[in-house]
Chains A and B, each alone.
Chain A
């Protein structure tokens, strides 16, 4: 949305198109003074329209934009991060859950990454783990009254904890239950540290909503240090690194050679609740016995 539409330049060749025969003949219909007023007036209007056109155009675009693309961070990114989770491989060991909890220092009942036991229509049990899906068309971004949740140019849906007022409408709107609220000041022990990792970010204040960030701190620091998220462990989300059966992949969708790009291109994958049009950036490889 940030790219500016080129504004059509108003025609400045007014005098050439002036009606012929009126100027010199002192016509009774239009006097020289009227003509000058008309020309200056229309010139000024054009100038005014030209200066206002671009901001007005942006405002109208913004108002009419039904896809709720507000909050796109300024600037551009060559990357678009995505995750692939292989349901046919997942054994339900919960290591990704614990690693996330240790790394992001979440509370036991406020996990960012959860596991649910699921069943195929034929009764085969499998495990679904669910981080935040970082939707391209995220209901949480749409509804936030203060724009505290926003899209980054690299596709991540992130939160500004300093802006959040704690109204919990994003929690209400998220189709995946991926958001948790800090009902009270944290003073709990983290049971999964140091075995599954150490806290890499500070705890969130009471009264704000939080959710999975795809370990944004690792991505940003890693890229700055010349590492590639999804390839170099230090720049990759904790849940992906720890998986003992390599059921999780992370990488750049904009790079056709990245592992996630190749899997999505070659394998049948599904995304949760495609029917809602949220376009998540987490793709699932179906479990055995599942139909897509």
Chain B
């Protein structure tokens, strides 16, 4: 954002006079990543005791990061499906960037998961020992396979953007892969529909925790992932446009993708409200009312849900993205998409915490156990910051060195990205 403040009268400025903002940014991210890596090594040596997690609340910030990163990677399958399955080839102008964002999201999630399990040395066990009835097994398999799909989708872009394009057989491979893309996209969509939903099911199927129990959780997860995944891709594309002073994505594509994000947010909102109404307002699920009471008393859940997730994270941005007059201003689109992204992260945090804060009710009498509490500590925060820095770092480098936006043009009007 900072680069946009300097007025620029010439389109082709001499590069040598520029202050190396880019490399400063890269150095800063590398520093954060370095601290994250050092902290991660500390976790691997000392074990998970160095976190604030407990037996009562065994999942926390890292699971939120992991769920968010996978959700935010959903732009990849959505836009790939649009291009290669539904033949909307215009969207290729942004689909590559979406795949790149997806790859970063999934790799971030795998890093967080690797640290979060007690025995990282056994990370491959789900491949060897199958439990077909475990949603988590299905998620692990899908995430591993889908990461491979994303890598295959990205390989041709990597080859054509780097010195590798001088190697003939690699270029030939790249063309061959490109022709396989429709199949790859179908596989990717299938895998995504499975695990994006199963992540919601991870919580939704647990009948012992009434705040979680919900058959709509899987669908809510995938709808919010589509909205926020597309939104993040749109946001970083617009941000990149301003910083690089290029119209990275043609304005008609920007408009249509913004509408897709808006409609997805609206669909998410619709199901979210009905899911709430059906299980909290029009019916009484045993224990749920009590659970929500505990949540409202001990956490800001009531506000973060209604103002954060519903109003800020879905309703307002949906209005901005679907109302032509508001959408025409690219800065409004940036704000709206960022709101949807934050809304998803907030939702994944609320989802994780809400079920754990409410104590289990298993005693045969009337006694209730005390509510559980959790605040992430510095170790968890530094590792998370390191993982986020990794994704920004690699995205920044990709923006600079990879041909992520095949239709990018120099801005016609200085500094103004257009959206039809």
Residues in chain A within 8 A of chain B (CB atoms):
62-63, 65, 68, 70-71, 87, 109-110, 116-121, 126, 128, 130, 139, 142-148, 163-169, 171-177, 179-185, 205-209, 270, 272-273, 275-277, 284, 286-287, 290
Contacts and interface: CB of A to CB of B under 8 A. Distances in A.
B118 A168 contact: yes
Contacts of B139: 145
B131 A181 contact: no
Interface in B347-385: 355-356, 360-367, 369
Nearest to A71: B131
A87 B365 CA distance: 11
Interface string B130-144: 111111110110000
A63 B137 CA distance: 14
Given A171-B58, A173-B208, A174-B208, 7 more contacts: A116-B367, A118-B365, A143-B134, A144-B134, A165-B117, A165-B125, A171-B55
Contacts of B122: 163-166
Count chain A CB atoms within 10 A of each CB in B208, B355, B367 and give the residue with the most: B208
A9 to B, nearest CB: 29
B62 to A, nearest CB: 11
Contacts of B251: none
Contact of B56 (A117, A163, A173, A177): A177
A180 B360 CA distance: 14
A178 B405 CA distance: 53
A167 B136 contact: yes
B50 to A, nearest CB: 8
Contact of A146 (B51, B55, B125, B367): B125
Count chain A CB atoms within 10 A of each CB in B139, B362, B363 and give the residue with the most: B362
B360 A143 contact: no
Contacts of A68: 133
Contacts of A272: 362-364
B97 to A, nearest CB: 32
Contacts of B128: 146
B7 to A, nearest CB: 53
B364 A147 contact: no
Nearest to A286: B364
Contacts of B367: 116-119
A179 B122 CA distance: 20
B14 interface: no
A182 B202 CA distance: 22
Contact of B58 (A63, A87, A121, A168): A168
Given A119-B365, A128-B365, A290-B365, A183 B53 contact: yes
Nearest to B133: A68
Interface string B106-148: 0000000000111100110110111111111101100000000
A143 B136 contact: yes
The 9 closest A-B pairs by CB, nearest first: A166-B118, A207-B118, A175-B208, A184-B49, A118-B365, A145-B137, A183-B49, A145-B136, A168-B58
29 contacts: A116-B363, A120-B365, A128-B363, A143-B134, A143-B135, A144-B131, A165-B119, A165-B123, A166-B48, A167-B117, A167-B136, A168-B58, A168-B118, A169-B134, A172-B59, A175-B207, A175-B360, A176-B360, A177-B360, A177-B362, A182-B47, A183-B48, A183-B53, A184-B47, A206-B47, A207-B47, A208-B118, A273-B362, A290-B365
Interface string B54-77: 011011000000000000000000
Determine chain B's interface SS by DSSP, over half rule.
loop
B125 A163 contact: yes
A158 B86 CA distance: 49
Interface residues of B, number: 46
Contacts of A62: 132
Nearest to B131: A147
Contacts of A119: 365-367
B300 interface: no
A145 B129 CA distance: 8
B208 A208 contact: no
B373 to A, nearest CB: 15
Nearest to A177: B360
A63 B134 CA distance: 11
Nearest to A207: B118
A175 to B, nearest CB: 3
B365 A166 contact: no
B207 A276 contact: yes
Given A143-B136, A147-B130, A208-B119, A284 B364 contact: yes
A173 B356 CA distance: 10
Nearest to B363: A118
A139 B206 contact: yes
Interface string B281-324: 00000100000000000000000000000000000000000000
A180 B55 CA distance: 6
A234 B364 CA distance: 31
Contacts of B140: 145
B126 A146 contact: yes
B118 A163 contact: no
Nearest to B48: A183
B168 interface: no
Contacts of B355: 172
B131 A145 contact: yes
A176 B125 CA distance: 27
A185 B128 CA distance: 26
B226 to A, nearest CB: 25
B123 A118 contact: no
